[in-house]
Structure 1
Amino acid sequence: MADRGGDGGRTCSFLVVAYGIQGHLNPARSLARRLAAIAGVTATLSVQVFSHRRMFPASSSGDEAEIVSDGVISYVPFSDGQDDGSWPTGSDQERARRRAATVDSLSAVVRRLAAAGRPVSCVVCTLNVPAVVDLARAHGLPLAVYWIQPATALLAYYHYFHGQGEAIASHAADPAYQAALPGLRRPLRVRDFPSFIVDEGTGGGDELSRFIHQEFRRLFEQMDEDKKVIVLVNTFEVLEATALEGIRPYLDGGVFAVGASTIPLPGAGEEEGRIDLFDQDVDTGYIAWLDAQPARSVVYVSFGSLLTYSAREAEEILLGLRRIGRPYLWVVRLEGRSPEVDRLLLSEATSAAAAEGMVVTWCDQVRVLSHPSVACFVTHCGWNSTLEAVECGVPVVAAPSWSDQPMIAHLLEEEWGVGVRAERGADDGVLAGAELARCVELVVGDRGTTATNMSAWKKRAREAVAAGGPSERSLGCFVKTVQELDGFVISTNLS
C-alpha cells in the first residue's frame, strides 16, 4: 500500500509483464493503460530489454535502469539473461538460467517501484513469462494471468491437463475425432484443438512448440497449487459466454473477461493506438490506394507478426489472388523474407497484374480493416487479428497454422458464422492458390448470412468495449478484487 501523491489517498499499483512480441505487447499495453484510467490506480508495463529498445529507439541504452513514461503508464525493461530477442528454448539448464535472470531483473523493478512510492499491489503477466510466477511468490504479491487467447482455448487447455489429455493424445492423428469437453456446447474435433496439444500426441512440432507446451503445463500446475491466481481473458462476455461460464467453476481466483484489449476505445486519441515493432510501409501510400478502390472490393491478406512465407506459398497466394481478379493488399514482412520471395515479389511488381494489388511490409491493420473498400480479410487467425476483424465487421478467410489458430478458425466459421476456413495442404501446410480463391469467393459472394452475422457481432463488440460497458465493468471488478487482497478497498469510477 502507498499514499497517492499529495492527496493522501491510496493507490493500487499494477506491474504488467509481457513477452516482448507484437501479439503480446499490444493487448498488455492496452490493459495497462485501461487500468491506469481507473481512479487511484497506476500501471507499469515491462518487457524484455530487446523489445523495449525497439519500442523506444530514440531513448538511451535500454538497460535495466531506464524508465519511459507516456503520461499514462510507465515502461521499464527487464533482462532475461540473453537480451537478444530469442525464445528461451534449449536445455533445462539454459531455461533455468534465463528464468532466474528474469526473476532477478523483475525483482529489481519491484524494489524500484516501491522506493518510488508505488509498491506493486499485483503482478499481471501474459503467456510465456513463467518467471513471473516465481516473482510473485518471492515478493508475496497477488498474481493475475492475462490470457491473450480465446476463453475457449483456456477451457480446452484446462481439461487437457485435467483428465482429458490421454484421450485426446491417443486420437491426435485422427483430425475428425471428436472430444466432448465439459462446459462446451458441442464436441471439438482434433483439428480444432491448439496445435501444441495435437503435436504432443502425434510427436510432431518443433523445439519451440514443445517448449511452449511444457510451459502451458507448468502454468496450469501452478494455478492448481495457488488457488488465488486470477485470470483475465482478452475476450468479451457475449462472444464466448459458454466457454467463460464453463471455465469459471475450475479457477477459484476468478475469471474476468476484460477484452477486447486490442481494439482502440471509441473516441480515443492516437496515443491509444498500437505500438508496432515493425516500421509501417507508409511510403507506398496504401491508404490513398485503398481510397481509390470501390467499396467492399479489396482482399486484405496478412499472416501476422511471426509467420513467414515459403517461396512456394508466396507463389500460391499470388496465383490465388490473380485468379480472384479483385484488388488486394498483401502484407509481407521484411523479417524472415527469403531471397526467393523477394524475387517473386519484384517480378509481380513489374508484371501487368501488379495494377490489381499492392504489397506492403507492414501497415496499420485496424485502419485497413475499418476502410470501406475492404471486402474480406485472409488471416492466420491470430487472436488480436480476429478481434479486430470482428470489431470492424470484416468477414474472414481463416487460414490457421499453429498455436490457438485452428481453434480460432473453428470459432469464426462454426460458432460465429463470420467466415470460411481454408484447408492447407496435408503434407506441406501450404495454402494453395485455388483454395484461397475458392474461399474468398465464398466469403465475398455471401452478402447474406455471413454479412448479417458479422454485422451483429460488430455491434456486440462495440457495445462490449464502450465506456461503462461490460468489459470496463469487469476490469473494475478485477481491480476491486486486488484491492481487497491488498488489505484495503478504495472507491473507483466504475461502481
Structure 2
Amino acid sequence: MDNKNDSSKSLTGPHFLFVTFPAQGHINPSLELAKRLAGTITGVRVTFAATDSAYNRCMLSIFLPWVAELAREFHIPSALLWVQPVTVFSIFYHYFNGYADAISEIATNDPSGSIKLPSLPQFRLRDLPTIIFRPDAYSFLVPAYQDQIDSLKQEENPKILVNSFQELEEEALSAVLDNFMIVPVGPLITTRADDSGIDDKYKQWLDAKTDSSVIYISFGTLAVLSKKQLAEVCKALIESRRPFLWVIAEKSFRSKEDGEEKEEEGIKSFREELDEIGMVVSWCNQFSVLKHRSIGCFVTHCGWNSTLESLVAGVPVVAFPQRIDQMTNAKLVEESWRTGVRVMEKKEDEEVVVESEEIRRCIEEVMEEKAEEFRRNAARWRDIADEVVREGGSSFNHLKAFVDEHM
C-alpha cells in the first residue's frame, strides 16, 4: 500500500497494491476486496498482482510474508488479508503460542477428547485443522502458518483484514491476540448473481425443477475424492432419487487398482443410473447456481469461499470436509450457525470414508426432517450478510475506517 505525500493526497488518495497467492481461494476474495475499494470509496486507486509463474516457487510460503518484509524495508504500511475465518486464525495463533503440546497429547492419547482455546468454543479433534494433529499431504503448510504469524508480530501495528463479518464470528473477534488489529470486511464474494451466470446446458434443467428440490454437489477445485469415496457418493445419490447437479472438475486420484485416474472416470460404472436423475458437469458458476430457486441443499467440502457463498445464498449445507480449515468450517456450519449437518466418517483399513448411508441420512435431514429450521437459519444469515456490506453495515464501516486511516 502506497500513500502519496500531503500535496497530492487530496487529488489521488491512497494507492493499494494487492499481492496475492495465485490460487482461486486466494484470488477470488482478494479481487473482490480490490473491486470494493476501487468502486465504492472515492479517491482510492488499486493495483492487483498475481502471476502464474509464482505458483510453483511460492508453494512453501503461500502467505507471502516477503511482501510485508519488503513493505517494512521501504516504510510502506501493509495489511494481511486472511482468507479463512477468524476462528481458524485464532486456532493457529494459540497452537503456536502454548497449545501445541496439549493438542498433540489429545491426538496421541485421547482422540475422542476435546480442548478449550481462549475466546473460542470447545473443539473436538475432528474440528481442528488437520495439519496440526496428523501428518498429511498438506503438513508442509504448518511452517508457513507459523512464519505468517511470526511475521505479523514484527509489525508495529499489525492489521489483518478478514474475509468474515462481525455478526458471524463475534466470539472469535472478541479475543485480543498480541494487539493484532483484526478487521472483518467480508463476505468478500460477488453478490450480484443472475441467470446470465448459468450455462444454458444446465439452466434449462434447473428451471424445470421445483423449488428447493435439487442437491448441488461440489468439492472445490483442489479436493480429490478417492475411488471408494466417489462410489459411496454415487450410491447415496442413486438411492436418494433426488435431482442433483454435481460438479466434477478434471482432477485425478491414484487408486491401488488402476493407478492414476480422472474423477469422472471413477464414476463411470454408475453414470447411466446417475444420468437418469441428475446432471454431472465439469464446471459451473457456483454462486449463480446456489441462488437458483431450485437448489435445496449444498453438499460441500466446506472451503471458506464455498461456505460463505452458501450463507450469502441462504442455502442449507451438508458439510463434507476434507482437510485443514474445512474441518473447523464444518463445525461452525453445524453448531454455531446451524445451517446444516456434518457427515460422520469411518476408517476402513487405512482410508477414511463417508459411507453412502451416512451421506443419504444427512441429505434427508437437510432436505426433509429439519428442512424448515435449516432454511430459516440460512435465510437469516443471508439477510445479515447482505446488510453488512451495504453502506452503514459493519463490514462497510470497517473497510471505510481502514481506508480513512491512509487518506
- Report the equivalent of 2:333: 412
**Distance in 2, Cα, partners of 1:45 & 1:296:** 38
**Distance in 2, Cα, partners of 1:193 & 1:251:** 22
Paired residues for 1:117-156 under 5 Å: 128-156=63-91
**Distance in 1, Cα, partners of 2:82 & 2:221:** 19
- Report the equivalent of 2:23: 21
The one-letter code sitting in structure 2 at the alignment partner of 1:384 is: N
- Report the equivalent of 1:454: 378
**Distance in 2, Cα, partners of 1:433 & 1:197:** 29
- Report the equivalent of 2:95: 160
**Distance in 2, Cα, partners of 1:355 & 1:307:** 26
2:112 is the alignment partner of 1:176: yes
**Distance in 2, Cα, partners of 1:251 & 1:261:** 26
- Report the equivalent of 1:114: none
User: What TM-score results when the alignment is normalised by the length of structure 2?
Assistant: 0.90
CA contact (8 A) 1:265 1:466 kept: no
Identity of aligned residues (%): 35
Distance 1:328 1:415, change over 3 A: same
Query: Greater shift after overlay, 164-173 or 333-342?
Result: 333-342
2:366 is the alignment partner of 1:443: yes
The one-letter code sitting in structure 1 at the alignment partner of 2:189 is: T
2:172 is the alignment partner of 1:243: yes
Paired residues for 1:214-229 under 5 Å: 214-229=143-158
2:17 is the alignment partner of 1:47: no
- Report the equivalent of 2:289: 368
CA offset digits 1:173-226 (Å, max 9, x no partner) = 434322111112x32112111112122xxxx222xx232110111111122222
Paired residues for 1:459-474 under 5 Å: 459-474=383-398
CA contact (8 A) 2:20 2:26 kept: yes
**Distance in 1, Cα, partners of 2:5 & 2:150:** 36
The CA RMSD measured in Å over matched residues stands at: 2.5
Distance 1:336 1:128, change over 3 A: farther
Report the secondary structure of 1:176's partner residue: coil
Q: Shift of the alpha carbon at 1:46?
A: 0.9
CA contact (8 A) 2:234 2:274 kept: no
CA contact (8 A) 2:251 2:263 kept: no
- Report the equivalent of 1:112: none
Report the secondary structure of 2:346's partner residue: coil
Query: Greater shift after overlay, 472-481 or 421-430?
Result: 421-430
Instruction: Note the residue ranges of structure 1 that are not aligned, 5 or more in a row.
Output: 51-78, 90-94, 100-126, 274-279, 484-489, 491-495
Distance 1:451 1:226, change over 3 A: same
CA offset digits 1:71-104 (Å, max 9, x no partner) = xxxxxxxx53xxxx43645xxxxx6xxx7xxxxx
2:186 is the alignment partner of 1:259: yes
CA contact (8 A) 1:236 1:464 kept: yes
Instruction: Note the residue ranges of structure 2 that are not aligned, 5 or more in a row.
Output: 254-259
CA contact (8 A) 2:58 2:64 kept: no
- Report the equivalent of 1:302: 218
Report the secondary structure of 2:22's partner residue: coil
**Distance in 2, Cα, partners of 1:415 & 1:7:** 44
**Distance in 2, Cα, partners of 1:234 & 1:193:** 19
Q: Shift of the alpha carbon at 1:263?
A: 3.7
2:229 is the alignment partner of 1:313: yes
2:140 is the alignment partner of 1:211: yes
Q: Shift of the alpha carbon at 1:43?
A: 0.9
Report the secondary structure of 1:210's partner residue: coil
**Distance in 2, Cα, partners of 1:433 & 1:43:** 48
Distance 1:87 1:376, change over 3 A: farther
State how many pairs are aligned: 394
Report the secondary structure of 1:250's partner residue: coil
Report the secondary structure of 1:408's partner residue: helix
Q: Shift of the alpha carbon at 1:467?
A: 3.5
- Report the equivalent of 1:288: 204
User: What TM-score results when the alignment is normalised by the length of structure 1?
Assistant: 0.74
- Report the equivalent of 1:323: 239
**Distance in 1, Cα, partners of 2:403 & 2:262:** 51
The one-letter code sitting in structure 2 at the alignment partner of 1:140 is: H
The one-letter code sitting in structure 2 at the alignment partner of 1:469 is: G
Q: Shift of the alpha carbon at 1:460?
A: 1.1
The one-letter code sitting in structure 2 at the alignment partner of 1:2 is: K
Distance 1:23 1:4, change over 3 A: farther
CA contact (8 A) 1:4 1:40 kept: no
- Report the equivalent of 1:113: none
CA contact (8 A) 2:218 2:301 kept: yes
- Report the equivalent of 2:313: 392
CA offset digits 1:277-322 (Å, max 9, x no partner) = xxx9x47x11111111111111111001111222222211110101
The one-letter code sitting in structure 2 at the alignment partner of 1:134 is: E
**Distance in 1, Cα, partners of 2:244 & 2:115:** 38
Report the secondary structure of 1:359's partner residue: strand
